[in-house]
Structure formats: C-alpha cells, structure tokens
C-alpha cells in the first residue's frame, strides 16, 4: 500500500479521521476539504499521538500545534 504523510493542524484530527466537523468553522472545513481534494487524499490511516508546534504546516504554511497524518494513496 502506498502512503503519504503531511503535517497538518491537530485541531483538524476529528474531522480528518472521523469525519466529525464539530467545533470547526465553515471556512476551516472548506480549507481542509480543498487541501484533501487537491492532493487526492481519501482515507487517513493514522496520525501522531502527541502534537507539537510547527512554524508552518502543509495545508496553509501557518504556525500551529500539528500532528503528522498518514494517508492511503
């Protein structure tokens, strides 16, 4: 199985893993959906257990508490 990993904000974990948008703004949902679609990502296999601060993430190049998410291709 081919996989790819991205560093993305940790507050998106519930949506990315469980498709649960609770607590997210419509703009945040639109932003992550656009990122997932543009990278042809459908299923998140796993993510890190411990979040850490990154000065930029792969979705919007902004600093945030992030996790490493691994997706099936």
Domain that holds residue 37: 3-72
Residue 39 burial by Cβ neighbours in a 10 Å radius (0-12, 13-18, 19+): middle
The domain tally of the chain equals 1
pLDDT range class, residue 1, cuts 50, 70, 90 = confident
Mean pLDDT, to the nearest integer, of 38-66? Answer: 96
pTM (2 decimals)?
Answer: 0.93
| Whole-number Å distance between alpha carbons of 24 and 70 | 21
3-51 tens-digit pLDDT: 999 999 999 999 999 999 999 999 999 999 999 999 999 899 999 999 9
């Amino acid at each position: 199985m081919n996989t790819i990993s991205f560093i993305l904000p940790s507050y998106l974990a519930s949506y990315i893993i469980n498709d649960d948008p609770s607590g997210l703004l419509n703009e945040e949902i639109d932003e992550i959906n656009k990122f997932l679609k543009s990278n042809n990502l459908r299923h998140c296999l796993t993510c890190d257990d411990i979040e850490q601060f990154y000065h930029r993430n792969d979705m919007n190049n902004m600093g945030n508490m992030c996790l490493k998410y691994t997706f099936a291709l």
